[in-house]
Structure 1
């Protein structure tokens, strides 16, 4: 693995955000388009002066592209054009409910169609070069469904902590699924507005000591500061409808694995309790049997000790994830 790549360190982050990264961000292009059902989808991009490949970043649930300034900067320095969007219902993009804090989507496929619109009508128009995807968590599920929808659009993809299954702890999966389905029926019978799922509520800032996303205090605090300063970026828990649609999407991912012809690498955080790592293992094992170019040896690339948000982790974990990502893309250039 190359060791001469330079990435922002935790020690450098605060100063860089105020200086180099701030200057870099001023060079970006920011706009929006009308996604499925007229929902505004906001995006940003940064292009090199020379002809360079495109790296499309697909964030996870709750995330705004403004959270990704450090990652966009670091990957731009590695010679990519960077494209990133905010999914419907979060970030700067349009919210669909009166309570805009609720995590909601009426059809998971709308995420996929928004991404397709972005790639076909923004990315390919602005830079008709080779396209690569780097997707995180929910973005990993969206990107996987997109690869099943557009088989020949992306040269290679990296899925970091992809949401291929939910971690329901000790609750049997069938019981959890039945609970979700019963909650959906109750919601339909008793109320016109989508309900939060049990225990979910509006945005609450979790202190660093209690968080299960990252071991990096400086990166985690940077995220908290952003969401306190820009309160319109905040998003609460998930609705019953979002869960129902996400479970359907996960089932379709496994049912349609043969449609994925793009080489896929899965990065797995070994200490991730947000999503189900076993689902990633099953995905890699099955996909590698169908497409030997994906998931080398039928396994995910494990970042031992890391929490869910690999690109917002401490330097040692983050640098591993970045180097694995860049190695994968270079292998497929």
Structure 2
């Protein structure tokens, strides 16, 4: 009887030991997988560990994006990257955002051959970024251009009068916090805005003149805010070639890049966190079988523009925004 009890105790001890080592083994495997994932994804290249052509997508409304700037910097330093495709599909965004990415792409072009591939749209700040590359490829029906600057602001003075609301204020000088939607715009305020707009416009035109095979007169002829198809843009020397990714790769080949290399997208390694509103809404959408309930939906309804500040360069600004 005693021997049977001892056998039961030994079996229980053995079972506990087996359970412990199973858990330990699972933890080790999990740590190895996590370490391997971090190693492969450390640059946001999805595990690419051989020479390749890097692809960076710039889509939607353009803003100052520290992660994107760091990603472009890492691409420039990576010995695995032999050439770069900047894939653009954007109506524009903040002027400062476009400027910072333009400068980052120019710096990158000093390290690697860089070509811009225009998708549906590269307008305003989107086109500004495209000019930072050394070659621009666009589809025949792509929309390109919208070089110019515009400020728009609402005037709600009549509405305030109807509902009986008055705004009082004390300021140090007449132009402080002007223009304001709560008071009619004066000639002095319009002159201030005109000077601001023309300075930004002159800067934008200068970038295009410097980066494209056009004289200033030729740039001014297309810098009236007009948009063009890819075919029209080619005739006006705003793009260099019609086509898509294959044509972009073919151009890189003329710069000594092996056309047989894989094109690998370098994606953002940052996110808003699992418990951010957009992430949670995305998870909820998947659980409900509704794709794109998170950030995609926010972009569709224009909620991403709520977070814009500063001077904008947009092809189609929403009413009451600042754009071009």
Q: TM-score, normalised by structure 1?
A: 0.31
Larger Cα-atom Rg: 2
Tell me which of the two structures has the higher relative contact order, counting C-alpha pairs closer than 8 angstroms and 6 or more residues apart.
Answer: 2
